[in-house]
Structure 1
Amino acid sequence: MKWVYIAAGIALYFKMIIMPNPTAEWSDLSIVETVVQDSGVPNAVSGIIFRNRLYDTIFEVIVFTIAILGVRFLLANEKPTEIVYQFSDQPSIILARLGATISTLVSIELAIRGHLSPGGGFAAGVAGGTAIGLIAITSSSEWMQGIYQRWQAATWEKISVLIFIILAMMTLLGMELPYGELGTLVSGGVIPLLNILVAIKVALGSWAAILLFIRYRGLL
């Protein structure tokens, strides 16, 4: 059998060397233009993530949710720390909160206009989580925990995941919203809504992880 494997390997090698490259047949076709026309949004990356490979994106959101649950499970039996490391000098606090303000504005911009320009839900969620982290290292952990519970952030995180999965499954079944005019804010069907939902999910999930690490480890 060893010689059969060797012969098959040699045959495959000559096949790759001798046979022409089929990519030449695609020279007149723009993949980016095809994705833009198919998804109805100028940002081809968003079109691929939330349409062409939407099935994969659903599980990416689920995996992130499981990761946050894993953090809670990992730290569930630990004793809360008594020492929390935070910025104490005023210049660092001012700069951190200024950075948090900028990150928040960037997060909103990426979530709302992510289907029109570079950005999207995941990038917006990361920017939002960065803003929360900068606030966390300059504020009281009890105050951060109080706001998290007062606004029921954990509940909204779960709701955003459920709505995302429902809208994604409807899209996979062929039920889509009107595309609208290409390049306008209200366009692309369900893609802008999916962007916003992913941004909410990632930002609130990051908030939960930050609070847990501060509570049980005393640092981010």
Structure 2
Amino acid sequence: MKWVYLVAGIAFYVKMLVVPNPGVELPDFSIVETIVQETGIPNAVSGIILRNRLYDTIFEVVVFTIAIMGARFLLANDKPLTLIYQFNDQPSIVLARLGATISALVSIELAIRGHLSPGGGFAAGVAGGTAIGLIAITSPSEWMQGIYQRWNAAAWEKISVLVFIVLSVITLTGLELPHGELGALFSGGMIPLLNILVAIKVALGSWAVILVFIRYRGLL
């Protein structure tokens, strides 16, 4: 059967070289401009993710939630480490906390203005998780765990997911907030709210995963 695969591969290669690709006739209007007009925000990517393909985004958030639950479940029966090494030298601590401050500020900016400029909820959540990770590698794990429990981060993570799903279902039914003025901070209907909820979810979920892995695996 190897010669069959070889002939098929050669034939496919010749087809790509000889047969021209069929041309696609696009309409006169720009797809990007249409999305911007329909969503009321200049960031067309956020418009696609949180409006045109909102159904997919809902399940992306759900999959991320399941991944966090899976990490906790798989490590639940493991024995926590008795000794966790941290970065103790002062230059590393200063640089890590400086980076955490910058990442936190970027996270807030991306969450609030992600519908106006490159960015959005997922990018903001990743920046927030990076800030938490930089603090975690230079701070005692018990202190990080205490803050996580004191502020009920796990509960807020679940609440953000539920509110995101509810607002997404409302949007999918056709009900939307006023789009406002294009380019203004309060514009785009539900999209800014969904961005902020995704950012909270991803950042708090990353915090939970970081705590679990540090507790059972140390600094990887």
Q: TM-score scaled to structure 1, two decimals? A: 0.90
Match in the other structure for 2:142 = 142
Alignment map for 1:1-220 (pairs within 5 Å)? 21=23, 23-26=24-27, 28-220=28-220
* Paired amino acid for 2:185: L
SS in 2 for 1:133: helix
Contact 1:125 1:203 (8 Å CA) reproduced: yes
In structure 1, C-alpha distance between the alignment counterparts of 2:91 and 2:21, rounded to whole Å: 65
Q: CA deviation at 1:19?
A: 9.5
Moved over 6 A (4+): none
SS in 2 for 1:96: helix
In structure 1, C-alpha distance between the alignment counterparts of 2:205 and 2:181, rounded to whole Å: 33
* Paired amino acid for 2:76: A
Q: CA deviation at 1:219?
A: 1.6
Flag structure 1 segments of 5+ consecutive residues without an equivalent: 1-12
Contact 1:110 1:119 (8 Å CA) reproduced: yes
Alignment CA distance shift 1:79-1:25 (3 Å): closer
In structure 2, C-alpha distance between the alignment counterparts of 1:43 and 1:146, rounded to whole Å: 38
Q: CA deviation at 1:82?
A: 1.1
Contact 1:103 1:130 (8 Å CA) reproduced: yes
In structure 1, C-alpha distance between the alignment counterparts of 2:76 and 2:68, rounded to whole Å: 12
Alignment CA distance shift 1:88-1:39 (3 Å): same
Match in the other structure for 2:10 = none
In structure 1, C-alpha distance between the alignment counterparts of 2:144 and 2:39, rounded to whole Å: 39
SS in 2 for 1:24: coil
SS in 2 for 1:168: helix
* Paired amino acid for 2:37: Q
In structure 2, C-alpha distance between the alignment counterparts of 1:155 and 1:25, rounded to whole Å: 48
SS in 2 for 1:73: helix
Q: CA deviation at 1:87?
A: 0.6
In structure 1, C-alpha distance between the alignment counterparts of 2:118 and 2:21, rounded to whole Å: 38
In structure 2, C-alpha distance between the alignment counterparts of 1:80 and 1:25, rounded to whole Å: 59
Q: CA deviation at 1:217?
A: 0.9
RMSD (Å), alpha carbons: 1.9
In structure 2, C-alpha distance between the alignment counterparts of 1:100 and 1:20, rounded to whole Å: 50
In structure 2, C-alpha distance between the alignment counterparts of 1:18 and 1:104, rounded to whole Å: 50
Alignment CA distance shift 1:20-1:211 (3 Å): closer
In structure 1, C-alpha distance between the alignment counterparts of 2:127 and 2:68, rounded to whole Å: 17
Contact 1:82 1:218 (8 Å CA) reproduced: no
Q: CA deviation at 1:70?
A: 0.3
In structure 2, C-alpha distance between the alignment counterparts of 1:54 and 1:145, rounded to whole Å: 34
In structure 1, C-alpha distance between the alignment counterparts of 2:20 and 2:217, rounded to whole Å: 60
Flag structure 2 segments of 5+ consecutive residues without an equivalent: 1-14
Q: TM-score scaled to structure 2, two decimals? A: 0.90
Q: CA deviation at 1:85?
A: 2.2
Q: CA deviation at 1:25?
A: 3.8
Cα deviation digits, residues 109-152 of structure 1 (max 9, x gap): 00000000000000000000000000000101110000000000
In structure 2, C-alpha distance between the alignment counterparts of 1:163 and 1:18, rounded to whole Å: 49
Cα deviation digits, residues 4-34 of structure 1 (max 9, x gap): xxxxxxxxx8xxx58952x2343x2211101
* Paired amino acid for 1:167: L
